[in-house]
Amino acid sequence: SAVISQKPSRDICQRGTSLTIQCQVDSQVTMMFWYRQQPGQSLTLIATANQGSEATYESGFVIDKFPISRPNLTFSTLTVSNLSPEDSSIYLCTCVGASGGGGSYNEQFFGPGTRLTVL
Protein backbone atom coordinates (compact mmCIF):
# COMPACT_ATOMS: atom_id res chain seq x y z
CA SER A 1 0.00 0.00 0.00
CA ALA A 2 0.98 3.65 -0.25
CA VAL A 3 0.96 6.27 2.46
CA ILE A 4 -0.13 9.68 1.26
CA SER A 5 0.23 12.92 3.16
CA GLN A 6 -1.37 16.23 2.28
CA LYS A 7 -0.59 19.75 3.41
CA PRO A 8 -2.38 21.74 4.66
CA SER A 9 -4.98 19.55 6.34
CA ARG A 10 -7.37 22.48 6.43
CA ASP A 11 -7.44 26.16 5.61
CA ILE A 12 -9.76 29.13 5.64
CA CYS A 13 -9.21 31.52 2.75
CA GLN A 14 -10.59 34.80 1.56
CA ARG A 15 -12.50 35.16 -1.67
CA GLY A 16 -10.24 35.93 -4.63
CA THR A 17 -7.09 34.36 -3.18
CA SER A 18 -5.52 31.02 -4.10
CA LEU A 19 -4.57 27.92 -2.14
CA THR A 20 -1.93 25.37 -3.10
CA ILE A 21 -2.28 21.86 -1.71
CA GLN A 22 0.71 19.55 -1.58
CA CYS A 23 0.53 15.77 -1.89
CA GLN A 24 3.43 13.49 -0.99
CA VAL A 25 3.48 9.72 -1.48
CA ASP A 26 5.94 7.49 0.37
CA SER A 27 6.80 5.50 -2.76
CA GLN A 28 6.93 6.02 -6.50
CA VAL A 29 3.50 5.59 -8.03
CA THR A 30 2.25 5.25 -11.55
CA MET A 31 -0.74 7.53 -11.42
CA MET A 32 -1.87 10.38 -9.20
CA PHE A 33 -5.28 12.00 -9.18
CA TRP A 34 -7.04 14.91 -7.53
CA TYR A 35 -10.64 14.64 -6.34
CA ARG A 36 -13.05 17.07 -4.78
CA GLN A 37 -15.86 16.32 -2.35
CA GLN A 38 -18.28 19.20 -1.94
CA PRO A 39 -20.53 19.23 1.12
CA GLY A 40 -23.08 16.43 0.91
CA GLN A 41 -21.79 15.33 -2.47
CA SER A 42 -19.86 12.41 -3.86
CA LEU A 43 -16.16 12.45 -4.70
CA THR A 44 -15.60 13.99 -8.12
CA LEU A 45 -12.45 13.53 -10.17
CA ILE A 46 -10.82 16.86 -11.04
CA ALA A 47 -7.81 15.68 -13.04
CA THR A 48 -5.06 13.14 -13.54
CA ALA A 49 -1.66 14.54 -12.56
CA ASN A 50 0.82 13.46 -15.24
CA GLN A 51 4.48 13.33 -14.41
CA GLY A 52 6.43 15.70 -16.60
CA SER A 53 3.49 16.91 -18.65
CA GLU A 54 0.26 18.84 -18.34
CA ALA A 55 -2.50 17.35 -16.24
CA THR A 56 -5.55 15.77 -17.88
CA TYR A 57 -8.71 17.52 -16.72
CA GLU A 58 -12.22 16.11 -16.46
CA SER A 59 -15.23 17.82 -17.92
CA GLY A 60 -16.06 20.96 -15.97
CA PHE A 61 -12.55 21.53 -14.65
CA VAL A 62 -9.97 23.78 -16.33
CA ILE A 63 -6.28 24.42 -15.89
CA ASP A 64 -6.67 28.13 -15.18
CA LYS A 65 -8.82 27.38 -12.15
CA PHE A 66 -7.04 24.21 -10.97
CA PRO A 67 -3.39 24.27 -12.07
CA ILE A 68 -1.63 21.03 -11.18
CA SER A 69 2.02 20.12 -11.05
CA ARG A 70 3.70 16.73 -10.81
CA PRO A 71 7.45 17.16 -10.95
CA ASN A 72 8.27 13.55 -10.01
CA LEU A 73 6.70 10.18 -9.22
CA THR A 74 6.04 10.92 -5.54
CA PHE A 75 4.80 14.51 -5.40
CA SER A 76 2.01 16.67 -6.81
CA THR A 77 0.39 20.01 -6.09
CA LEU A 78 -3.09 21.31 -6.79
CA THR A 79 -3.79 25.03 -6.75
CA VAL A 80 -7.34 26.30 -6.45
CA SER A 81 -7.29 29.80 -7.94
CA ASN A 82 -9.47 32.85 -7.57
CA LEU A 83 -11.37 31.28 -4.71
CA SER A 84 -15.10 31.66 -4.24
CA PRO A 85 -17.36 30.18 -1.55
CA GLU A 86 -18.39 27.49 -4.06
CA ASP A 87 -14.85 26.12 -3.87
CA SER A 88 -15.37 25.18 -0.23
CA SER A 89 -14.74 21.43 -0.35
CA ILE A 90 -12.51 18.63 0.72
CA TYR A 91 -9.73 18.09 -1.81
CA LEU A 92 -8.22 14.62 -1.96
CA CYS A 93 -5.05 13.36 -3.56
CA THR A 94 -4.99 9.71 -4.63
CA CYS A 95 -2.57 7.33 -6.28
CA VAL A 96 -2.56 4.01 -8.08
CA GLY A 97 0.22 1.58 -8.76
CA ALA A 98 2.29 1.90 -5.63
CA SER A 99 5.51 0.00 -6.11
CA GLY A 100 6.47 -2.66 -3.62
CA GLY A 101 3.03 -2.84 -2.06
CA GLY A 102 0.57 -5.68 -1.99
CA GLY A 103 -2.93 -5.63 -3.31
CA SER A 104 -4.37 -5.13 -6.69
CA TYR A 105 -3.16 -2.56 -9.15
CA ASN A 106 -6.72 -1.41 -9.16
CA GLU A 107 -6.65 -0.02 -5.67
CA GLN A 108 -6.65 3.71 -5.33
CA PHE A 109 -5.08 4.97 -2.13
CA PHE A 110 -6.36 8.24 -0.75
CA GLY A 111 -4.69 10.96 1.19
CA PRO A 112 -6.38 12.36 4.32
CA GLY A 113 -7.78 15.32 2.39
CA THR A 114 -7.57 19.09 2.69
CA ARG A 115 -10.66 20.85 3.99
CA LEU A 116 -10.96 24.27 2.38
CA THR A 117 -13.39 26.92 3.56
CA VAL A 118 -13.73 30.09 1.51
CA LEU A 119 -15.24 33.14 3.19
Partner 1 sequence: DQQVKQNSPSLSVQEGRISILNCDYTNSMFDYFLWYKKYPAEGPTFLISISSIKDKNEDGRFTVFLNKSAKHLSLHIVPSQPGDSAVYFCAAGPGTASKLTFGTGTRLQVTL
Tell me whether residue 13 or residue 31 sits nearer to partner 1 (CB atom).
31
Nearest residue to 36 via CA among 73, 13, 66, 1: 66
Binding residue (CB under 8 A) for partner 1 from 14, 39, 42, 60: 42
Strands 4-7, 108-110: pairing kind: unpaired
Asked if residue 44 binds partner 1 (CB under 8 A), the reply is yes
Asked if residue 116 binds partner 1 (CB under 8 A), the reply is no
Measured CA to CA in angstroms, residue 48 lies from 27, 35, 39 at distances of 18, 9, 22
Binding residue (CB under 8 A) for partner 1 from 55, 109, 116, 118: 109
Neighbouring residues of 97: CB distance < 8 A, sequence distance ≥ 6:
29, 30, 31, 105
Tell me whether residue 52 or residue 102 sits nearer to partner 1 (CB atom).
102
Candidates 12-20, 67-75, 81-89, 97-105 — which segment interacts with partner 1 by CB under 8 A? Answer: 97-105
- Residue 15 CB, nearest distance to partner 1 (Å)? 25
